[in-house]
Structure 1
Amino acid sequence: MEKAMVSAPEVASDPVRERLLKAALDSFLSDEYHKVTTRLIAEKAEANISMIRYYFGNKEGLYEEMIRHTMAPLLDVLDGQMLQSVNGFEDFLLLYYQTMSKQPEFPKLILKVLALNQGPGRRFIQQLLERGRTNGVRKIDSLKSSGQANASLDPDIVRMAFVSLAMMPMLLKDIFEEQMGRTMDAEFLEQLAEFNGRIFSAGLALTRAE
């Protein structure tokens, strides 16, 4: 199966700011929050430490913006055209797998913040997820109105099922690859997105058994 890489719209960016975000992502993924210093991040980014204060205010502000920046392509899709039909869920899953496979430790970082309350940003991440929930409900309502989804579907159940299909392969990526004896490469992720997308699309049309 040949499928073009799914990507979000490109936006103009400041190169210094982008380097700081990249250095912050690498640093926070490889070490605990309290062990990462702004000086270390600035050195990795080849930038003056004052630029962190200029762009982000402080270390916590940089941490939160790093999370928002990484998740933005996924959240922005909910405002776009991709999920206007049930077929778009396959593309969204592929976008998620592609985004997270570039930084496989990122889903684990989010889980640590939310479940274990390690590091700052818990309220901030919850706000991002609530944005996803609100937009997701709107998309499901639209699919119901167009007859593409069953009118009796509970949007919270739909959301939980979708998050499970998206997150679990990335959270357990190392374990799955060890068990399978092969890597979850681009071709594997395309096939996984296609399969899970079809499962999810079929589930949207199901009528609840009485």
Structure 2
Amino acid sequence: MHQKDASSPVRDRLLQAARACFLGDDYHQVTTRRIAEQAGANQSMIRYYFGSKEGLYEEMLSEAFKPLLDVLDGPLLASVDGFADFLRLYYAAMAMQPELPRLVLKVLALNRGPGRRFLQQLLDRGRDGGARKIADFKRTGQVTAETDPDMLRMAFVSLAMTPMLLRDVFEEQMGRPMDADFLDGLAALNGRLFSVGLTPPGEVLP
């Protein structure tokens, strides 16, 4: 993936235009000419910064998930109490880009095509990072030795993605918006569920 002049205003405009185009239309319907025109840039700049349309697409996904990826390597998930803060960050990021969860689901469902390589790397990184975190939790006695990292990761992804994928359905059913306050409370509740569920038997949470 190309990383030339990462702070360039032209590069930033191309990423913003790509996000608007790809989230609003099917990948194969979006042309590099259309992206370049929307960004007010020359089409050749896409090749310069990203190598190709697919490279731009993958970089667009990478930029969108960067705040979440950074958390995997940071101190936020050093304890089970960090799940709530991570979910809060995830919900906020997805609320700003409501079409992104559906786009990710479509790429994963097709199991091929643009973005698949990046998402596979993202999932692999999450699995490896998650396994390390669970190993740390076990060593510090925060979870039981029987905790299955894959099951935990699947449960966490379900709690993270489902509210955003079905947001329109939930809002219609509840008759109220899933606004910032609602998502903050949901993150706190789901984080609490994780903390309670992972606490070894006999221990009491504060």
Paired position in structure 2 for 1:152: 146
Which residue type is aligned with residue 165 of structure 1? L
- Kept after mapping to 2: 8 A contact 1:33/1:119: no
Q: Does 1:63 align with 2:57?
A: yes
Length-normalised TM-score, structure 1: 0.89
Structure 2 residue 1 is the aligned partner of structure 1 residue 13: no
CA contact (8 A) 1:34 1:119 kept: no
2:142, 2:200 within 8 Å by CA — same for their partners in 1? no
Which one is further off, 169-178 or 110-119? Answer: 110-119
Deviations 1:116-146 (A, max 9, x none): 3474121321111101111111111111111
One-letter code aligned to 1:115 = A
Is 2:160 aligned against 1:175?
Answer: no
Give the Å deviation of 1:191.
0.2
CA shift, 1:14, in A, is 2.5
Compared with structure 1, are the counterparts of its residues 175 and 118 closer, same or farther at alpha carbon in structure 2 (3 Å cutoff)?
farther
What residue identity is the alignment partner of 1:129? L
Q: Which residue of 2 aligns with 1:114?
A: 108
Deviates more, 1:152-161 or 1:38-47: 38-47
Tell me the distance in 2 between the aligned counterparts of 1:178 and 1:13: 41
Report the equivalent of 2:68: 74
1:83 and 2:74 aligned: no
Distance 1:118 1:25, change over 3 A: farther
Which 4+ runs in 1 deviate beyond 6 A?
none
RMSD (CA atoms)? 1.4
* Aligned residue number for residue 3 of structure 2: none
Aligned letter for 2:15?
A: L
CA–CA separation in structure 2 for the residues paired with 1:13 and 1:98: 24
Name the amino acid aligned to 1:64. E
Give SS of 1:82's match.
Answer: coil
1:1-210 correspondence runs (5 A): 13-117=7-111, 119-206=113-200
Aligned counterparts of 1:104 and 1:185: Cα–Cα separation in 2: 12
Q: Report the count of equivalent residues.
A: 196
Q: How far apart, CA to CA, are the structure 2 residues paired with 1:44 and 1:206?
A: 54
Whole-angstrom CA distance in 1 between matches of 2:198 and 2:67: 24
Is the 1:112–1:118 contact (alpha carbons within 8 Å) kept by the matching residues of 2? no
Counting aligned pairs with the same residue, the percent is 67
Deviation for aligned residue 1:183 = 1.1
Q: Structure 1 residues 52 and 157, CA, compared in 2 at 3 Å: closer, same or farther?
A: same
Higher mean displacement: 96-105 or 40-49: 40-49
